[in-house]
Amino acid sequence: MKYQIIPVTPFQQNCSVIWCEASLKAAVVDPGGDIDRIIAEVKRLGLTVEKVLLTHGHIDHVGGAKKLAIQLNVPIIGPHIADQFWLQGLVKQSQNFGFPLVEAFEPDQYLNDADVVRVGEQSLSVLHCPGHTPGHIVFYSKVSGLAWVGDVLFRRSIGRTDFPQSNHQDLVCSITQKLWPLGSHVSFIPGHGPMSTFAEEREHNPFVADQLLSYRFSYRCS
C-alpha cells in the first residue's frame, strides 16, 4: 500500500491518500478540509479514488468528506456508528472550533471491528478503538505493516479524552489490546504530527510505554 500525507486545516491534520500500486485505485483517509489540494494531489499521482475513509467524527478529520465524496462521486465509509452524534453535530463543531460551516451528514457505511475495506487489490483491516471518541476506528494494512490510527496514538503522546463520551481507560485499552498485538514492527500515521512505530511508543511514549503501565497503572480491559 502506497500513501501520501497531506496536512489539511488549521489543525494540520494528516489526511492521507492511499493507493494500490497494481491498480492505481485509491482512497482518501480523513479529508478534514482543503479539498482542492487533495484533488490536485490525486490528479498529480494519476490515481482513481474509490472511497473516502473516516477514522472518527471530529471536524478536522471529516470536514471536507461530504464535499470530496460528491465531487469524486464516491462513498464515505466509516467511522463506527458510535460516532454518529459527532457527525450530526458538525454545525456546532464548526462554531466551536472556528471552522467554515460544515453540514451534518451520514456516511454510506458505518464500520465495525474486524471489517475489511478494499482499496484496489489491497485490503485494510478495521479495528474499533474507542477512547478518544466512542466510535473511533483504525485502518491496518498487514501487507505493508502500516496503520492509520487517527487520534488514538501519536508520537510520544495519545489522544485527548476530555470530549463528550471520551474515556481515558478505554483509550489505553484500545492501544494496548488492539494496536500492540499487531506487532512492534508496525509503523503508524497519526492524525497529527510525525509518523512513528509501535516499538518506539512502547519504549518511549510517556503515556503508554510498557514499563510505565506495568509499574504505575492497572487497567482492566474487557
Q: Return the CATH number at 210.
A: 3.60.15.10
Structural domain containing residue 119:
2-216
Q: Is residue 200 part of a domain?
A: yes
% of the chain surpassing 70 pLDDT:
97
Buried b (16+ CB within 10 A) or exposed e, 15-41: bbbbbbeeeebbbbbbbbbbbeebbeb
Rounded average pLDDT over 118-128? 98
Rounded average pLDDT over 41-48? 98
Counted domains in the chain: 1
Q: Is residue 90 part of a domain?
A: yes
Q: Is residue 198 part of a domain?
A: yes
Q: Is residue 222 part of a domain?
A: no
Q: Is residue 20 part of a domain?
A: yes
Stated pTM of the model:
0.96
Q: Is residue 221 part of a domain?
A: no
**Tens digits of per-residue pLDDT, 66-79?**
999 999 999 999 99
Q: Is residue 110 part of a domain?
A: yes
